[in-house]
Amino acid sequence: MSSQPLTYAGGAEELIARYNKRRTPFEGADACFDPSPDLVALARQTVPESATDPTGAKGSWALKCSMIAPEFVGRSALAFLAAQLIAQLRRNSPPQGGAALFRRLWAEAPEHLLSQLDLRWQVSSAMTFADHGAPGPEQALGASLKMLFGLIKLYEFERLFSGLAPSVPHRFGQRSSAAMPLQMDPYSLNNGGLDSALLAPLYQQAEEAPVLRPLALSLLGALNAEDGTVFRRLSIMKARRAKARHEKEKP
């Protein structure tokens, strides 16, 4: 066994314990949803300011709802329901029928939800499909999106400590000569295709997951348009490297 210090000293047991600690069921959530709501009516209703009034004790479902509500005041009750379902489905022992209702929302009202949910809630929705989507292509795509956007969040947060804005690519002359972790080969700015290999299959998977498809394509489109991620920065660096090589090869 290696004597090298571990990032997580307790290994899998520690990680699983941390994960489960955040999944304790809410109190009073057993019968909080109508299993067969009128989605058209909910889409027409807006969330009132009164929904933000804090009620219930710590750890209760009532208090959690009032904490989510400020983001949805003036938005549709259907979008608020989607957010509530996400919060429930992240915990152990969610209300019976919650997963089926979540899928129904995205099967019957994807355009409405995409217009009402901001990107953060769209990402959370996609992540929820990883555990509560239909088995097969839908769950597989959900799991891929969960890993993709989770790692983007971790990496982009850590990169802020470099002092660089997310839209500012690194300079070539400041690259460290240190080896890559896990014995990985460095990414090639000249010929590397890892970015395409990560993203292209997600578009293909979306064609096999019709309920998740509109959400997945919306998120992938937003990622493509975002100028503050590792994908855009590498694209800029690739273009600069190619231009420099072209200039160098001129007679």
Asked, for residue 175, whether it belongs to a domain, the answer is no
Asked, for residue 16, whether it belongs to a domain, the answer is no
- pLDDT greater than 50 at residue 1: no
- pLDDT greater than 70 at residue 2: no
Asked, for residue 3, whether it belongs to a domain, the answer is no
Query: For the whole model, what pTM was predicted?
Result: 0.92
Query: Please, which contacts does 228-235 make with residues 24 or more away whose CB atoms are closer than 8 Å?
Result: 228/156, 228/165, 228/166, 228/167, 229/152, 229/156, 229/166, 230/152, 230/155, 230/156, 230/159, 231/195, 231/199, 232/167, 233/167, 233/168, 233/169, 233/170, 234/169, 234/187, 234/189, 234/195, 235/195
Asked, for residue 180, whether it belongs to a domain, the answer is no
Asked, for residue 179, whether it belongs to a domain, the answer is no
Asked, for residue 62, whether it belongs to a domain, the answer is yes
Asked, for residue 119, whether it belongs to a domain, the answer is yes
Asked, for residue 170, whether it belongs to a domain, the answer is no
Structure tokens at 144: 């891929």
Report the domain count for the chain: 1
Q: Residues 30-79: pLDDT tens digits?
A: 767 788 999 999 999 999 999 999 888 888 999 999 999 999 999 999 99
Domain that holds residue 89: 24-165+189-249
